[in-house]
Chains A and B, each alone.
Chain A
């Protein structure tokens, strides 16, 4: 394969899966919050927090795996703070999210500057990237082995957590209570379910997952931190949860779609003469189209139904006048 079609390869899927991983993690967290009836638009800030704290912790501790754990804890704390401000002080969810996203973006740059003197990006040779792992047996399957194996632990974790979240939400008592709170909070509360606790847990878990997704960017994929490293992936995750109807599997697939689109945009730059800035817009454009189609789906269906009804009426009339 040469030329244009050489972009469609196993490597495209490999990089698509890698690029999708942070989105999957944050989107699952967002979907969980939506299921619990508490809109979390602060995924972006939780992700950025994870990216920054993850690499800083890896540097000071000298172990990137421990860096991941600290990133998850930092994201979780951010989720807890979000829940506290929402439940205890009754701050509007959207305002809260805007504040979080703005503050964390500036705060990470500020701390980077104070601690390391860098403004744009920071790295240190002592930091090691989370290593890729081959899965025994599976790696030997032709083609499929190349697609499914050879990633780092965060990628595998994102797959596992998708399944776990599905089981918890639809097969376990805790998950059913989450869904009850999200769909009719009063119904849950009158039978003694603590809605505040459930929403708080959903926010903390979404923080933990987004934090891990952020750490994937700084110590899983690369080994450096740049300002605004999450670069809108938290917002893509919000869209992916919506696109996936807040179902873990659907959210996973939607995130994968966004990841592969991004990988495609990266690769297509090498083989076409299109201006690179335009090609880089491709994933954003895909997101926009998905969001618009979600919004229009219901409306279009109703309009079509109405058009059909009017046509039937007219046909009926003509029949009556004819006979």
Chain B
């Protein structure tokens, strides 16, 4: 097939951070092809795509579209040459309707006056043409994330893009929405569109892509047909060494309960139940995986357990002590560690240095402060210990952390939270947005903590992560525990049906041939 896009010798050096982001990168995409672009954080994928989309000017290199060399200095040029980008963080106006968002900037009008009827029709026709049904009159803020993404895709298609860049499109989607997106991408390819699919998740590469290009340290280290490669092979190319995709985990005897939630209920801002009568416990030497589609009460439950949100009913216990009324600091002093969901906003203060970030949870201990003055020497020593024991090679004591990659930032959070030998660890989406190498580190560390005897509550929307780490699986659905499974015998299918709000009995009765005995 004909080449839709060819990038030749793209080189970009950022002098401000001394990073060779792209080093003589070559990339080709055929018409009607899905190209997966994979690589660790900081490998240069985003820079390469921003160059293609006209957001960054390369130092050298050529961009050839349909056989002709083009100059792209601005996103407008990219759009003119048929390149469209669906950003990871959607660029939509929440109070506008679907139609208003899709048509924004190119509204049909008479003397400046809009015609909502015509707008809705244009959008409806577009949606029909690509078989991507949307309600033109629905407001964006009322739509689920998957539908918002569809609006973004339609927005790009209305601008007559032939080459679509999807930047980590599955990061925010539910498993069902991921499935639908995959179909949409395949359909677009069938219609002759080219899709560049940026992702961390190798399983998605195998599912959706025709070809894959792997980037590492600013270079394209290889492009292969998906049929000629496999996940371990791609992981090796990405990281440059062998990676354990599924970390080794021995079975160990669990101890006494370390954390217990009894009949916990919490309301949301509208007075409706976000968490309703939830009871469970976590034992020493055990990882309890809390699975569930995001938005089913995970955030609220974690906030209640960590002490950030008062509960409305029920009690929580730590080592048989009632900590329902205890504040965050009391809970931390009693041995609770919390790896929050959002490392940029909640987990870290990016405006200060590594040392202060590491002692933020213990700055008032006599080891680090006297009479209200911080003891910088012992803080510095502590920072060095943490950096060494968690091998946060990129971070240096006393220096800013704002330039660190996502994986290294998460190492700082993990290092701080786990360095006090906590007895109970809440890990909320601890690998979200991380590359395989960093995921391996986080997983290994959590298992080490378990083996040391800590109880771990792992909250994750990634089914694979739950299956790989948990000893026991709880599924949260609409603020309630929908079911509990022993990880050893549980199948992905079983967890999946509970996540969707179904019952295990549904699975057995509808598909008797795929019961538990099949494994």
The residue on A at minimum CB distance from B273 is: A309
Bound together, the chains give a CA A301 to CA B109 distance in angstroms of: 41
Bound together, the chains give a CA A180 to CA B105 distance in angstroms of: 10
The residue on B at minimum CB distance from A308 is: B271
A179 interfacial by beta-carbon distance below 8 Å: yes
Contact B312 A184 (CB under 8 A): no
B92 interfacial by beta-carbon distance below 8 Å: yes
Contact A180 B271 (CB under 8 A): no
Given contacts A191-B106, A193-B104, contact A309 B114 (CB under 8 A): no
Contact mask for chain B residues 55-86; partner A; CB cutoff 8 A; 1 contact, 0 none: 00000000000000000000110010000000
Chain A residue numbers with a CB within 8 Å of B75 are 190, 192
Q: Is the interface of B mostly helix, strand, loop or mixed?
A: loop
Given contacts A308-B271, A309-B312, A313-B312, contact A186 B104 (CB under 8 A): no
Which of A176, A184, A305 interacts with B271 by CB under 8 Å? A305
Bound together, the chains give a CA A118 to CA B271 distance in angstroms of: 62
B241 interfacial by beta-carbon distance below 8 Å: no
B113 interfacial by beta-carbon distance below 8 Å: yes
Contact B114 A192 (CB under 8 A): no
A174 interfacial by beta-carbon distance below 8 Å: yes
Which B residues from 168 to 225 make CB contacts under 8 A with A? none
Bound together, the chains give a CA A188 to CA B75 distance in angstroms of: 13
B269 interfacial by beta-carbon distance below 8 Å: yes
B100 interfacial by beta-carbon distance below 8 Å: yes
Contact B101 A187 (CB under 8 A): yes
Chain A residue numbers with a CB within 8 Å of B105 are 177, 188, 191-193
Contact B269 A305 (CB under 8 A): yes
A173 interfacial by beta-carbon distance below 8 Å: yes
B502 interfacial by beta-carbon distance below 8 Å: no
Contact mask for chain B residues 292-325; partner A; CB cutoff 8 A; 1 contact, 0 none: 0000000000000000000011000000000000
Contact mask for chain B residues 98-115; partner A; CB cutoff 8 A; 1 contact, 0 none: 001100111101001110
Which of A177, A190, A305, A314 interacts with B270 by CB under 8 Å? A305
The residue on A at minimum CB distance from B107 is: A173
Chain B residue numbers with a CB within 8 Å of A193 are 104-105
Bound together, the chains give a CA A270 to CA B381 distance in angstroms of: 75
Contact A176 B107 (CB under 8 A): yes
Chain A residue numbers with a CB within 8 Å of B96 are 176, 179-180, 183
Contact A310 B313 (CB under 8 A): yes
Bound together, the chains give a CA A193 to CA B75 distance in angstroms of: 12
Contact A313 B271 (CB under 8 A): no
Bound together, the chains give a CA A193 to CA B105 distance in angstroms of: 6
A306 interfacial by beta-carbon distance below 8 Å: yes
Contact A187 B92 (CB under 8 A): yes
Name the residue in A177, A179, A306 with the highest tally of chain B Cβ atoms < 10 Å from its Cβ: A306
Contact B272 A184 (CB under 8 A): no
Chain B residue numbers with a CB within 8 Å of A317 are 313
Chain B residue numbers with a CB within 8 Å of A190 are 75, 87, 91
Name the residue in A180, A309, A310 with the highest tally of chain B Cβ atoms < 10 Å from its Cβ: A309
Which A residues from 183 to 230 make CB contacts under 8 A with B? 183-184, 186-188, 190-193
Chain A residue numbers with a CB within 8 Å of B100 are 176
Contact B271 A309 (CB under 8 A): yes
Bound together, the chains give a CA A104 to CA B44 distance in angstroms of: 51
Bound together, the chains give a CA A244 to CA B269 distance in angstroms of: 24
Chain A residue numbers with a CB within 8 Å of B106 are 191
Contact mask for chain A residues 148-168; partner B; CB cutoff 8 A; 1 contact, 0 none: 000000000000000000000
Contact B273 A191 (CB under 8 A): no
- In this complex, the interface size class of chain A, counting residues with CB under 8 Å from chain B, is 20 to 34
A304 interfacial by beta-carbon distance below 8 Å: yes
B94 interfacial by beta-carbon distance below 8 Å: yes
Bound together, the chains give a CA A302 to CA B312 distance in angstroms of: 13
Given contacts A302-B269, A309-B267, contact A183 B94 (CB under 8 A): yes
Chain B residue numbers with a CB within 8 Å of A308 are 271
The residue on A at minimum CB distance from B89 is: A186
Bound together, the chains give a CA A190 to CA B50 distance in angstroms of: 13
Contact A187 B91 (CB under 8 A): yes
Chain A residue numbers with a CB within 8 Å of B313 are 310, 313-314, 317
Min CB gap A163→B, angstroms: 14
Which of B79, B101, B112 interacts with A173 by CB under 8 Å? B112
Which B residues from 138 to 189 make CB contacts under 8 A with A? 155
Chain B residue numbers with a CB within 8 Å of A88 are none
Chain B residue numbers with a CB within 8 Å of A180 are 93, 96, 104
B47 interfacial by beta-carbon distance below 8 Å: no
The residue on B at minimum CB distance from A313 is: B313
Bound together, the chains give a CA A301 to CA B269 distance in angstroms of: 8
Which A residues from 8 to 22 make CB contacts under 8 A with B? none
B405 interfacial by beta-carbon distance below 8 Å: no
Chain A residue numbers with a CB within 8 Å of B421 are none
Contact B114 A176 (CB under 8 A): yes
Bound together, the chains give a CA A177 to CA B109 distance in angstroms of: 13
Min CB gap A192→B, angstroms: 5
Bound together, the chains give a CA A301 to CA B268 distance in angstroms of: 12
Bound together, the chains give a CA A219 to CA B107 distance in angstroms of: 43
Min CB gap A34→B, angstroms: 14
The residue on A at minimum CB distance from B310 is: A306
Contact B93 A184 (CB under 8 A): yes
B265 interfacial by beta-carbon distance below 8 Å: yes
A85 interfacial by beta-carbon distance below 8 Å: no
Chain A residue numbers with a CB within 8 Å of B112 are 172-174
Bound together, the chains give a CA A313 to CA B93 distance in angstroms of: 38
Chain B residue numbers with a CB within 8 Å of A191 are 104-106, 155
B491 interfacial by beta-carbon distance below 8 Å: no
Bound together, the chains give a CA A126 to CA B101 distance in angstroms of: 56
Min CB gap B434→A, angstroms: 25
B385 interfacial by beta-carbon distance below 8 Å: no
B95 interfacial by beta-carbon distance below 8 Å: yes
A171 interfacial by beta-carbon distance below 8 Å: yes
Min CB gap B121→A, angstroms: 17
Chain B residue numbers with a CB within 8 Å of A172 are 109, 112-114
Which of B92, B265, B270, B273 interacts with A184 by CB under 8 Å? B92
Name the residue in A172, A177, A313 with the highest tally of chain B Cβ atoms < 10 Å from its Cβ: A313
Given contacts A183-B93, A188-B104, contact A173 B109 (CB under 8 A): yes
Chain A residue numbers with a CB within 8 Å of B312 are 306, 309-310, 313
Bound together, the chains give a CA A279 to CA B175 distance in angstroms of: 64
Chain B residue numbers with a CB within 8 Å of A188 are 93, 104-105
Bound together, the chains give a CA A184 to CA B271 distance in angstroms of: 29
The residue on A at minimum CB distance from B111 is: A172
Bound together, the chains give a CA A171 to CA B115 distance in angstroms of: 8
Bound together, the chains give a CA A314 to CA B312 distance in angstroms of: 10
Chain B residue numbers with a CB within 8 Å of A179 are 93, 95-96
The residue on B at minimum CB distance from A184 is: B93
Min CB gap A231→B, angstroms: 36
Chain B residue numbers with a CB within 8 Å of A302 are 269
Contact B76 A192 (CB under 8 A): yes
Bound together, the chains give a CA A179 to CA B96 distance in angstroms of: 9
Which B residues from 259 to 283 make CB contacts under 8 A with A? 265, 267-273
CB pairs A–B below 8 angstroms (10 shown): A177-B104, A187-B93, A188-B93, A190-B75, A190-B91, A191-B106, A192-B76, A305-B268, A310-B313, A313-B312
Given A172-B113, A173-B112, A188-B93, 19 additional A-B pairs, CB 8 A: A171-B114, A172-B112, A176-B104, A176-B114, A177-B104, A180-B96, A183-B94, A183-B95, A184-B92, A184-B93, A184-B94, A187-B92, A188-B104, A193-B105, A301-B269, A304-B271, A305-B270, A309-B265, A309-B267
